[in-house]
Amino acid sequence: MAVTDEAILRIRDMIVSGELVPGQRLPPEKELSERLGLSRNSLREAVKGLELIKVLDVRQGDGTYVTSLEPHLLLEAMSFVVDLHQDQSIVEIFEVRCVLEPYAAWRAAKVITDDQVSELRAMISSVDEGTSVSDLVAHDLEFHRLIGQISGNAYLASLLDGLSSSTVRARVWRGITEERSIARTLEEHKAIVDALANRDAEVTKSWVTVHVSGVETWLNNALE
User: With a cut of 50, which residues of the chain have pLDDT below it?
Assistant: 1, 78-86
> How far is it, in rounded angstroms, from Cα 212 to Cα 201?
17
Predicted TM-score (pTM) of the model is 0.62
pLDDT for the residue 61? 86
Domains of the chain listed by start with CATH number: 3-78 (1.10.10.10), 87-223 (1.20.120.530)
pLDDT at 148: 94
Which pLDDT belongs to residue 87?
Answer: 54
Neighbour tally for 99: CB within 10 Å: 10
Beta-carbon contacts of 157 under 8 Å, excluding residues fewer than 6 positions away, are: 104, 145, 148, 149, 151
With beta carbons less than 8 A apart as the criterion, state whether 195 and 203 touch.
yes
- The DSSP symbol for 20 reads S
**Amino acid 105: pLDDT:** 97
pLDDT tens digits, one per residue of 143-200: 999 999 999 998 898 888 887 776 766 676 666 666 677 788 889 999 999 999 999 9
* CA dihedral of 131, 182, 139, 192, whole degrees rounded to 10: 140
